[in-house]
Every structure is written in C-alpha cells, then in structure tokens.
Structure 1
Amino acid sequence: MTVSKVPDGQRNQIDMPHWRTHAGKMAEEDNLEYYITFPNPNFDYKNQNGDDFVFLIDEEKVPVVILFGWAGAEDKYLSVYSKIYEEKGLITLRYISPVKYLFWKQNRMAKIGEKLVKLLNDLNFGNHPIIIHCFSNGGAFQYQFFSQALKLSSKPMQIKGVIFDSAPGKRRVLSLFRAIRAIRGGNKLLDIPLCFLMTMFFTTMWLLEIIQNYFTKKRIFQMNPLENLKNEENKWPQHFIYSKGDILIPYQDVEYFASYRKSMGVDVTLKCYDDTPHVRHYPYNRASYTHSVCNFMNKCLNMYS
C-alpha cells in the first residue's frame, strides 16, 4: 500500500495531519480509498476551553470514529462532519462506498467490509474504543457489511456505539428516483428522463433480487439496510438523527427501525428535527447536532469504561 500526504490546503482548522491512503497496483474492483486523521501529538485533552465533553480514556487508546458517507458523497463534505470529532482530539476514518457498488456491484461490499476491518487491525486499533457514524442508506449499507466482517475477524474490536444520520429507510421507487437525482445534481430539468430510466432499471433489479431470493437458497444482499439491520445480532447503543422534513428517508421509517431495535434490548436514543433536509441536519443546527453526537459518545465511552 502507498501513503501520500493530503495537500496542506486541505488541513482542518486545528492543523491536524491528514493522510490519504489507497491501494497501489491492485485491480480497480479492490481499491480502498479512505481518509484517516490523527490528532496533533501536542493536543491538550485536559484543556478544551471548558468543554463538557472530553473523550480521552487512555492516551494509548484514543477513541476512533469511523464515518461511512452517503451515496454520491464527496470527501470534502464528509470531512465537515469528521471535524466535529477531530476538534475533540479523536482519530477519524472516512470512507465513501462507490455508487456503482451500492447500486450495481453489491457483491463487492462484503470485500470492502473485510478490507476495512483488516485496515483497523493493521493500524492496531483493536483496543481503541470505536464509534461508527453512518449517513443515509448508503452509509448504513456499508455498515452492514462492516458489521458482518467484524464477526468473521479473529481479532475483536471495541465497538461502543453507532450513529445513524438520516437512516435507515425503506426501499421506495420515489425515494430511489429522488436519490438518483440528488447524486446526479438534481437541478437539470433535462436530466429527469435519464433519472427516470435509471430508477426503472434499478427497480427491475430489486424485483429480480426478490424473486431470486424467494426461489433459490443463495442469499442475494439487497440494498435495503432497514430490513437487513433490523435483526442485527450486535447490541451496542444506537443513536438516530433524522428530520420530519426529509423527503428521501421519511422520519416514520427511522422511528420504526429505532423502535424495533429498542424492543430487542438495544439502548436507543433519538434526535429529531422538524424541517432540515436529508443528511444536512448539522449545517442547519450546528450546536444541537454537535451536542447530540457528543452526548451519545460520552455515554457510550463511559458505559463500559
């Protein structure tokens, strides 16, 4: 693997070193491009301007936050969220699943999950407390395969909790159409026919997956994290951030999923906004969003410490 430093212009406000790591000469299907940020060695954990949330448990085990981006996300937008944690002196790892894997080559998602687990082991993060923050159905779908890979790993990970931002939601044709428009930009009127054709294509693929799962013993993983994760064996705490104004993931879906998980004994907390757009709750509510995720992390890190 090769490691290259991200240009200085992309450093965050507290001047933490950023590293971009990618697979060198591997085939395209096996590429794993991610961003990882380590805190400044001189970061003062004990003096953070009177902040109520100080997350250092052990200087040798700085908490790690893994962020799984939404379908079609760009790292420059996902990095806005990782700075919430980086400003607390935490390690962050950002990964965005390729759109073609989410919608078309879903069999690749399992390999990505395995590679992410291997990466954490290679970085010796096995004993660090880990929080996962996933966005929309795309991030939740990647979390599903990451969670499955954890079960197959010979080295246990200290997963403390999961944050779902604008997820998960049921599969709907209208939501799919809106998602495709959002990924392609969503503003060009002439783009509507193409988005409609793509929606019909993927809807047909959904139906074929359902038929194949019904008539064959071979399990086909559908991009349907709400159903896939309902009965997940892991019981670590889960926090849901969502909005009644989200037109891609209805708030009823999130509340249904959260209620279901709670009935299975999972510690569930909710943060609902009235009118913020999909995966944009933070830009509209920076203070309350930051307090929400930090409060959840504080609870998770102290629950088993």
Structure 2
Amino acid sequence: MGDADIDYNIVFPDSFITERHWKASKEPVVILLGWAGCKDKHLAKYSSIYNERGCITVRYTAPLKTVFISESFGYKELSTIAYKLLELLYDYEVENNPIFFHVFSNGGFMLYRYMAELLRSHGRFSTLNVVGTVVDSAPGSQNVTGALRAITASLGPNVNIVLLYVLLALFACMVFLLRIVLYSVTKYIHKNHYDAMRDHPSSWPQLYLYSQADRVIRHKDVEMMVKAVQEKGVTVDSFDFGTSAHVSLYRDYPEEYSSRCLAFLSRCMQTAVGTQKKRLSVAN
C-alpha cells in the first residue's frame, strides 16, 4: 500500500506495547522528516524512541535536489511530496489517529511547511488531528554559509573536490541572488520556508530543540522563530543543548533528548484528549 513514488518507511509497534502505553485510546502516528542527506538507518534511531512507546512511525527524507535546487528556484516539488505523505495516513487507515511530527533541519522543515499548509487549507486533510511538533536543529533563514556547510555534509567525503567547489560556487550565487538580493520581489511568487511558517505558524503545540554550537542553523534564527510563534498565541517550548553540532543533539544527549521528546508527546496527547472532552460536553 502507499505511494510507490516516494521512498518511505512505516513501522507498526507490537500491539501489547501499544496497549500498555495508550490503553483504549488510539496510538499516535509520528511522522519523522529527515534532514538533507539523512540516511534512513539514522532516522530509524529516532523512530525507535516512539516505537518503544507504542507509536506508529512514518519515516521520510526528501531528495537533495528538491531541498537545495527546487526550493531555491521556487519549484514546489516538496508540495507534491507533502500531499503524498498525508495520503499515506488514509492508505494505512490511521487518519483518525493523533498525528505528531518530528522534523529535522531545514530539509525536514521545508517539507513540513507544505504539510502544515495542506493541513490548514485542504478540505480533506484539515480534519486530521495533529497534536504537536518537535523541531530539531531548525529553522534557519537566509544563511548562505550554513547552507554551503549543509551541502558539503550531505554530499559526503567521497565527492570529487573540484566538482564540489563548482557546485558550491553555483549554489552560493544562485541563493544569494534569488533569496537575498531579489527576495523582496521573489517572495511574492515563492515565500521561503522560514517566512511562511513565521507568518502563518501551525496552531498545535511545538517544541524547538537546538544548540548554540550549531554551525549550519544559527541559534538566533531558531530563537526568533520561537518568539514569533509565541506572539501568535501558539504554545511553544524550546531547549538549547548548548554544545552539540548540527542534528547531533540525540547523539550527544540520548537520554535527555528522548525524555524531552516523549514528555512533550505525552503533554500534547493529554491536551488533545482534554480538548476533545470539552467539545463533547459542549455538544451534549
């Protein structure tokens, strides 16, 4: 089942684990959106945090070209992918379960932006019950240096050095021209992920995990986003891990990272249940 055009992984936990943690309520479906260049074996480590808590997990990482090329030129390929990922919930008949996002770096956040827009505006998806989002090492805004570091890390150490420098030079010129110099005009055609989510944030609770030592995503960008979302009246928590490199928070602090994510998920689920009870009481 599902869409053969996208390379995703879905994991259903053992029923006894689900029953132990969620009892009679429906278990959450956690959608994990990987960073650019993320391998599924790495994303699976995060998935296991939630599987061991009895959650269903869906893992997906957008192709490099859609993150670094299509988005920079304003081609909304990620919007199509976002639609297909949300369709999976219906394919696997879990559209009535609580939905929870775990998003990594700008690569995951760009895709999450389109999913959030569909959840807000699309008739079918607007009925899905999203309870919360964890954002890891994102989002960043107009940081060409950080983007170049992200590309270098994504391509890996085996790429030809001459080709690497040519690609980096072309990408830097393209991003600087389209996303900085001409952005005052191009934003009316295609607003970047940071501005789009700052201006129209998701309405459900959010947790931002980041580090001042991150050399790809500036901590000030994350903190400014947190403040902007809070000013919109959305429930937002954040935590600075201080010394970790980009998307290395879990590697450096596995116990604290896991406990913060799971505690946040539990709070989101409790809030969702409380909201549902209020609606039922009003209806009666």
Give TM-score scaled by structure 2 length. 0.86
Q: Is this contact kept in 1: 2:11–2:51, CA < 8 A? A: yes
| Residues 1:168 and 2:139 are matched in the alignment | yes
User: Stretches of 4+ moved more than 3 A in 1?
Assistant: 193-196, 208-218
2:8 alignment counterpart: 34
Q: Is this contact kept in 1: 2:18–2:53, CA < 8 A? A: no
| Residues 1:246 and 2:214 are matched in the alignment | yes
Give, as a single letter, the amino acid of the residue that structure 2 aligns with 1:146: M
1:268 alignment counterpart: 236
Shift, 1:214, TM fit: 4.9
Shift, 1:216, TM fit: 7.1
1:114 alignment counterpart: 83
Q: Is this contact kept in 1: 2:3–2:88, CA < 8 A? A: no
Cα deviation, 1:25-67, whole Å, max 9, x if unaligned, reads xxxxxx2110000011333643xxxxxxx4x1635x2111000
Cα deviation, 1:190-230, whole Å, max 9, x if unaligned, reads 72x54343233223333236677655796235xx4222210
Shift, 1:282, TM fit: 0.6
Counting helix residues as a fraction of each chain, which structure ranks higher? 2
Shift, 1:251, TM fit: 1.3
Secondary structure in structure 2 of the residue aligned to 1:304: helix
C-alpha distance in 1 between matches for 2:156 and 2:46 = 21
Q: Where does the alignment leave 5 or more consecutive residues of structure 1 unmatched?
A: 2-20, 24-30, 47-53
Shift, 1:252, TM fit: 1.4
User: Residues 217 and 282 (structure 1 numbering): CA distance in 2 closer, same or farther, change over 3 Å?
Assistant: closer
Q: Is this contact kept in 2: 1:271–1:292, CA < 8 A? A: no
1:284 alignment counterpart: 252
| Residues 1:68 and 2:33 are matched in the alignment | yes
C-alpha distance in 1 between matches for 2:187 and 2:243 = 43
C-alpha distance in 2 between matches for 1:291 and 1:252 = 25
User: Residues 57 and 266 (structure 1 numbering): CA distance in 2 closer, same or farther, change over 3 Å?
Assistant: farther
C-alpha distance in 2 between matches for 1:44 and 1:65 = 13
Cα deviation, 1:73-97, whole Å, max 9, x if unaligned, reads 0000000000000011110000100
C-alpha distance in 1 between matches for 2:254 and 2:187 = 47
2:281 alignment counterpart: none
1:152 alignment counterpart: 122
Cα deviation, 1:258-283, whole Å, max 9, x if unaligned, reads 01111111111112112111111111
Secondary structure in structure 1 of the residue aligned to 2:189: coil
| Higher-RCO chain (CA-CA 8 Å, sequence separation at least 6) | 2
C-alpha distance in 1 between matches for 2:64 and 2:136 = 18
Give, as a single letter, the amino acid of the residue that structure 2 aligns with 1:37: V
1:84 pairs, out of 44, 49, 62, with 49
User: Residues 57 and 242 (structure 1 numbering): CA distance in 2 closer, same or farther, change over 3 Å?
Assistant: farther
Cα deviation, 1:170-197, whole Å, max 9, x if unaligned, reads 1222112111111122588x72x54343
| Residues 1:301 and 2:275 are matched in the alignment | no
Secondary structure in structure 1 of the residue aligned to 2:6: coil
2:24 alignment counterpart: 58
Secondary structure in structure 2 of the residue aligned to 1:43: helix
Give, as a single letter, the amino acid of the residue that structure 1 aligns with 2:78: M
Give, as a single letter, the amino acid of the residue that structure 1 aligns with 2:205: P
* Greater mean deviation of Cα atoms: 120-129 or 175-184: 120-129
Q: Is this contact kept in 1: 2:3–2:84, CA < 8 A? A: no
C-alpha distance in 1 between matches for 2:203 and 2:77 = 26
| CA-based RMSD | 2.2
C-alpha distance in 2 between matches for 1:67 and 1:247 = 23
Give, as a single letter, the amino acid of the residue that structure 1 aligns with 2:93: N
Q: Is this contact kept in 1: 2:100–2:130, CA < 8 A? A: yes
| Residues 1:142 and 2:111 are matched in the alignment | yes
User: Residues 252 and 216 (structure 1 numbering): CA distance in 2 closer, same or farther, change over 3 Å?
Assistant: closer
* Count of aligned pairs between the two proteins: 266
Q: Is this contact kept in 2: 1:101–1:109, CA < 8 A? A: yes
1:182 alignment counterpart: 153
Shift, 1:121, TM fit: 2.0
User: Residues 236 and 40 (structure 1 numbering): CA distance in 2 closer, same or farther, change over 3 Å?
Assistant: same
Give TM-score scaled by structure 1 length. 0.80
Shift, 1:135, TM fit: 0.1
